[in-house]
């Protein structure tokens, strides 16, 4: 069965470190997204991609970057982790705008 | 998202009916989604409305009025397992990514 997987599920890192969160989908979806979820804010869009070599900034992109070298993967990199980036991160994919998002199980990141 | 409003919390009794409202503002409507999210889990898709009216799917129904920028999710015959957060989401403009409301946390009590 097709799926979308995130790794790691949990990560603790120190302020200033570079961190990369992985997202891999086997749906063959062109659209991929990264959201973060925090109490009081809900899901907020970080970056997204509509296809290979395409990346776009979302609402809260500062301090994050993504790359899309193939259809299956959209890794999210925190250039220099900050305590404000402690959050739960969700990756999602979809066929197109009129189809629902399929979410990964999330990565809980703690920056100490 | 500041363009989407939902109540923060609701409580309802097992077996009852509950309606969760969502109001939104977009510059190019392209459908409204409802997701369910249990604590500690990922959101899962519930419904999609692109035309005005009611879409029924088992115990869950979703209603849309595009002219009023308004939707609701109706849950019937509530069960304890329906205790979760319910997220309303729309693209803010045309074919842009979904923006989510802050979610409504529903507690179903006996």
Query: What confidence tens digit (pLDDT) does each residue in B11-69 have?
Result: 999 999 999 999 999 877 779 999 999 999 999 999 999 999 999 999 999 999 999 99
Residues 6+ apart with CB under 8 A from A82: A15, A63, A111
Q: List, for residues A69-91, the tens digit of each pLDDT value.
A: 999 999 999 999 999 999 999 99
What is the mean pLDDT of the segment spanning B69-76?
A: 97
Would you call B100 and A33 a contact, using CB atoms and an 8 Å cutoff? no
Q: Is the dihedral of CA A51, A55, A56, A57 positive or negative?
A: positive
Q: Taking a C-beta distance cutoff of 8 angstroms, is the pair A34, A74 a contact?
A: yes
Left (φ > 0), alpha (ψ -120 to 50) or beta: where does A72 sit?
alpha
Rounded to an integer, what distance in angstroms lies between the CA atom of residue A54 and that of residue A30? 10
On whether any CB of chain B is under 8 Å from the CB of A42, the answer is yes
Q: pLDDT category, A2, cuts 50, 70, 90?
A: confident
Interface probe for A, chosen from B97, B102, B103, B105 (most Cβ of A below 10 Å), is B97
pLDDT score of B2: 53
pLDDT band at A11 (very low <50, low <70, confident <90, very high): very high
Q: Which residue of B has its CA nearest to A60?
A: B1
- CB contact under 8 Å between A98 and B30, yes or no, is yes
Nearest to B42 among A48, A58, A105 (CB): A105
Mean pLDDT, chain A, whole residue set:
96
Of B42, B96, B102, the CB nearest to A103: B42
């Amino acid at each position: 069965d097709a799926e979308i997987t995130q790794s790691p599920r949990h990560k603790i890192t120190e302020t200033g470190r570079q961190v990369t969160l992985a997202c891999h989908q086997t749906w063959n979806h062109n659209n991929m997204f990264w959201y973060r979820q925090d109490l009081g804010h809900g899901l907020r869009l970080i970056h997204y991609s509509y296809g290979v070599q395409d990346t776009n900034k979302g609402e809260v992109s500062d301090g994050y970057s993504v790359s899309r070298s193939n259809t299956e993967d959209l890794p999210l990199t925190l250039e220099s982790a900050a305590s404000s980036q402690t959050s739960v991160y969700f990756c999602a994919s979809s066929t197109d705008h009129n189809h629902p998002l399929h979410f990964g199980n999330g990565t809980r990141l703690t920056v100490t | 998202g500041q363009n989407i409003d939902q109540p923060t919390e609701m409580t309802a009794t097992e077996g009852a009916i509950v309606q969760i409202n969502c109001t939104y503002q977009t510059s190019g409507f392209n459908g409204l989604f409802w997701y369910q999210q249990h604590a500690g889990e990922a959101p899962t898709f519930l419904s999609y409305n692109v035309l005005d009216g009611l879409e029924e799917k088992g115990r869950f129904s979703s209603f849309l009025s595009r002219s009023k920028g308004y939707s609701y999710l109706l849950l019937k015959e509530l069960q304890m397992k329906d205790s979760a957060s319910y997220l309303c989401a729309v693209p803010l403009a045309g074919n842009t990514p979904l923006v989510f409301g802050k979610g409504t946390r529903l507690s179903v009590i006996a």
